[in-house]
Amino acid sequence: MWKKFGFYTAELLQSADPGSPLYAIQALDITSVSSGRGSIVFGDSEGGVTLCNQEFSLHRFMAYESSVEFVYQFKKTNMLLTIGNGMDHRSQEDASASKNLAARFRTSLSSNEIYKWMLEDLYIPPTFANSAGAKEATLKLWLLDKMDAAGRPLCIRSIPLFEKLDEETISCFTVDEEQLLFLFGCQSGAVYFFHGDIHRSKKVALSAFPPSFASAITLLLVAPASDASCTVYAASADASCTVYAASADAFGAFAFSADAKTPVTFTPLDGTGVAPQCGCLFHGQCLVARDCTLVGFTPEGQRDAYAFPDAIQAVFAFNKDVVVHHAEGGHHYLSVFNLENQCEEFSMEVLRNGNPESLSFFFVEWGLLFFMTEGHVVYLLREKDVQTRLEILYERQLYSEALALGRVWELSEKEMKSIHFMYGNALYAAKKVDEAVFEYIETIGCIDASLIIRKYLDASSIHYLIQYLEELHRRGFASSDHTVLLMNSYAKLHDNDKIQAFVYQQSLGPHFNVAAVVDALASSEYTREALYLAAQHRLHAKYIAIQLGQLHAYAEAIAYIKQLPAVEVAAVLAQYGKQLVDNAPAEATAMLKEVCSAQRAEPVPAEKALACFIDAPRELKAFLKSCIAEDTTDPVIWNTYLELVLRNDLSDPLKGDEGSAVKGDEVSIAKDDEVSAVKGDEVKAANNSEMTNTSEVMAVLQNPKACYEDDQALILLEANRCEAGLVYLYEKLHMHSILLHHLLHQNRLDEAIALCEKEAEDDSLWRAVEKVVDVVKARKGVPLVQLVQMLCDSGRVSSARVNAVVLEALQEEAAVRRGDEEKTATLQSEGEALAKDIATLKDSVFAFHQTRCVGCGLPLELPVLHFLCGHSYHKNCVATQEKGCPKCGCAVTKTKPLSDEEFLKKVSVRGGDETKMVGCENGFAVVADCFAQHAFEEPEETEEEPIEPEVQATQPVEDIDEDAIPIQTLEL
C-alpha cells in the first residue's frame, strides 16, 4: 500500500489570458520537446523550432520546409540537433487532433487585433499548409550561440540520414553524449546508430544493429556499462554501454562496444512489448510499464516489480522519483512515486476546463518538472523544500519514513541525526525506551549527549545508559565525564567482565580519556585495573597516587619510580616525594640517593629532590652527604649540608624529644641533688655534641673540594655561633679586621694580639686595637689591669696612649665616688625629714575636713573611711581590695621585720662558703670570690603583708597642709 503525501505543488502555466506564459504554444502542432542549457525546445509539424528561456519568452525559427520529428538540446554544448522533413511517426488520429486544436487557437488569436502579434512574432501562419509529398529525413546541427539577422541560429551540419539506405520513418530517437552515440529506431523495427562526434566527423553514415524487432521501435534507452547492475553482462560482452530497445511485441538489450571490431549482441528480456513513453532508466535498471505494474529489468533479466492501482500510460524518471501517468475510467492522473520507500509523494488529476486530458510530453529544466497535455497545456511541478516535506512527515509521526526519504533526498548528516533525535523522543514518550535508545545512538556526534543521558539516569534504565555510553566511546565522542559515568555504571552492576574487556582488550576502542578512567576505577576499588591503565599510558602521577593513597604500598611505588626516566622521576618527586619520605624515610632516602647518583646514566639533579625532605632533616643530611661524597659542585647542596651540620640536634642522637632532660617546671620542683645531676648530664651531653658538631663543621669548611658559598657560610656560622668556623673563614678570606674585632668582642685578647703580631705589616690592625679599647672600656668587660697589661705587652701602642687609658679610668672612678657621696648625703637628709614627719604624726592630731564623698559626691554618712591624704569615702564607695586611697593611689603597707634567723639566712653565702672565712688570710679576696660566684643569681623575694589603715572617724585632728605630707612613706 502506497503512503500518500503532498511533497509537490502543480502550477498551470497557461491560463485563459493570452498574456500568460507559453500561451502561444497552443497554436502549434508540437511533435517533440527537449530541454537543456537553460532552454526548452519545441518542434512542430510545420518545420519550426521554438526556443523558450527561463522567463518563458518564445523565439521561433524555421528549420525545415515540412515538419520537425525530433529535437535534442545538448547538455554539454550549446548546440541543437533536429531531425525533420521526414514522415510523421504519430498516428493519423493523434496528428489530426493536435492540428485541429492548434488551428482553433490560431483562429482565435488572428481574430483578436490585440493578440494577433503573437502569431506574427512566432512566424505562425493563420492556417496549416498542405504537407509536401516527398519525404527525406534530414539531421541538422544548429549552433545557438550564433544568430543571423532574422534570429535564426547558425546551421553547421545538415546530414541526410538515409542517403544510401531505404527511407525509413523514425519512430524513436535518443542520444548518449557520454558515448557520442546517436540511436534511431524506425517503424520497420530496425535500429540504426552513429558513433562519433557528429559535429567534427567528415562523414556521417548510419550503421544498423542486428535485426531483432519486427514492429515499430517504441523505446530506446542507453545505460552505461559501468552501472553495477550491468557488470556481469558488460564483462561478458565487453560492452561499453547497454541499449534497451523495445517494440510493441518485444523487449531486449543490445550490448554495444566502443570498439568497432566488437560486434553488437542482443539479449531478449521479455516477449511482451512496451508502449511509447512507457519505459525509463531508474537506479541502474530499465523500468517498463505492464498495465498496472512497473517491472525493472537489467541485462541479466527481470528484477523488481511495483504494483499500481491504475493502468500506466507513461513513466518518467525525475531525480530519485518516478513520475507515472495512469488512467482509470477516462480520468487521467499524474503521480510521483518514491519506489524505494513505497510512498506516493504527489498525485493530481489532469483536467482542462474540467475535462480530463492525456499527457504527451515530460521534460525537466532549471530543476523543475514540466509536462504537456494533448491540449498543449504545460504544467509546472514544483517540489516543496525539504523542511516543509519533513514537517509533513512530523505531523503524521512518520519518523521512519522521514529517515528513509531523507536518505533519498541526500540530507546532511546533521539533518538526519536531528530526525533520529525526534524519533527517539517520540519513542521515549511512548514508553518504548529500548527502541528509543537505538535512535539516540544514531544522534551521536550531532546532538548533545547530556540530553540523552538525563533520560536514563534512573536505576531501571542503567542498561540502556550503558548501551548509549558504549557507543559514544566506540565512535570517539566520549568525554571524560562520559567515561567516568560508564565506569561507575559498570561498577554499580559489578560487571567485572566488561571492565576488564574495556581495560585490557580496549573493547570500546582507544578513544577515551585515560586519566578519567583511572580515577573512576580507583574510586570504585578496581585498583588493579587502574594501575594497569596508568602504567600502560605512562600516567606516572596517577600510578603513584593510587599506590600511596589507597594501597599504601610505598615499596612498590619506590620500585616503580626507580625505573622511570629522569624527567619523569623529577615530576613525580615534586608531587609525592615528601609523602614517601614521611612514610618510608629509609627506603625513600635510599631511592633518592640512587636516582640522583652520578653513576646513573641519566641522574636527577639533586636540588630537585631537596623539597622531598621538608620536616626530615636527618634524612636530608644523609642524602646530601651521599651527594657530597660524589664530589658534587652544586653550591646549593654544600650550603644546605653546612646548615644541617651546624645543627646540634642532628649531630647528637640523645638530644631530642625522646632524650630531653627535665625542663621548666620539673626543674623547679625537683630536689637540689636531682637537679644538679640532670644539669650535669645535660652539660656533658651538650659539650660532647658541640665538640662533634664543630669537628663536622670544620671538616666541611676545610674540604678542598667544597663548593659552598663563602658569604652564605659566614651567615650560617654567625647565626649558629660557631666560633671555630667563623675564625677559619675570616682567616681564609683574609678578613683580618673583622677577625680582630671578633676576638676582642669575645675577650680573647691573647689571640687578638697574636693576630696583630702575625699580620705585623698591617698597621690598620693596631689602629683597630686602639679603637676597640674605647669600646672595651665602655662595656666594662675587661678589668683595667688586664687591659693595660695587654696594651703594654703588644709593644705597638704608645705609652702616651696607655697613660691616657689609665688616667681616664681613674677619672671615671673619682666621678663615680663623688656621685655616690652626693647621693648618700641626699638620702640622709630625706631620711631625717621622714623621721620628723613620722614623729609629728604620732604625737599630733590630724583633722579631716572633707564633708562629701570623693567617689560619689554625696554628703558623708557613716560608715566612713578617711585616708591620711585628706580624702574621705563612703565605705560602700571603696572596694574591699583597695589598699589605699582610690584617687591618690596611696598604698600604705607595712614591711614585716625579719627575725635574726631569716636575716642570717638571706645574707649567708651558699654552698658552705661561710666556712672559707674561718682561718683565711685575705678575707676580702674570699668575699669577692663568693660574690663573683653568685653575681648572676636571682634574689629571693619575700612577700610583704599589707596592713589596712585603721582610722577612727571620730578622732579629732588639727588642720595641716596635705601637700606637705609624703603619703607614700606614712606609717601608722
Residue pair 86/132 in contact (Cβ under 8 Å)? The answer is no
Residue 968's Cβ-side half-sphere holds a number of Cα atoms within 13 Å equal to 2
Question: Which phi and psi angles does 283 have, rounded to 5°?
Answer: 55, 45
pLDDT at 176: 92
pLDDT at 537: 86
Burial class (CB in 10 A: 0-12, 13-18, 19+), 698: middle
Closest residue by Cα to residue 372 from 785, 721, 13, 699: 13
d(CA 968, CA 805): 45
* Residue ranges of the chain with per-residue pLDDT less than 50: 228-237, 652-679, 683, 685, 760, 775, 778-779, 890-896, 909-911, 935-936, 938, 941-972
Residue pair 360/30 in contact (Cβ under 8 Å)? The answer is yes
DSSP assignment of 616-635, as one string? -HHHHHHHHHHHHHTT---H
Residue pair 509/476 in contact (Cβ under 8 Å)? The answer is yes
d(CA 11, CA 853): 121
Q: Is 336 left (phi over 0), alpha (psi -120 to 50) or beta?
A: beta
Closest residue by Cα to residue 181 from 72, 278, 86, 99: 72
pLDDT at 916: 63
Angle at which helices 799-843 and 763-779 cross, to 10°:
10
3-class DSSP assignment, residue 480: helix
Residue pair 370/364 in contact (Cβ under 8 Å)? The answer is yes
Residue pair 934/823 in contact (Cβ under 8 Å)? The answer is no
What Rg, from alpha-carbon coordinates, does the chain have? Answer: 63
Q: Where are the domains of the chain?
A: 412-537, 539-632, 665-813, 848-969
d(CA 406, CA 418): 11
Q: How, if at all, do strands 3-4 and 343-349 pair?
A: parallel
Q: Is 865 left (phi over 0), alpha (psi -120 to 50) or beta?
A: beta
d(CA 244, CA 220): 6
pLDDT at 933: 57
Closest residue by Cα to residue 244 from 338, 174, 318: 174
Instruction: Determine if the pTM surpasses 0.75.
Output: no
958 DSSP assignment? B
Beta-bridged to residue 33, according to DSSP, are 42
Amino acid at 773: V
Give first-to-last CA distance, the chain, whole Å.
134
* H or E element in which residue 294 lies: strand 293-298
Strands (E), 751-839: none
- The architecture (CATH level 2) of 412-537 comes to Alpha Horseshoe (1.25)
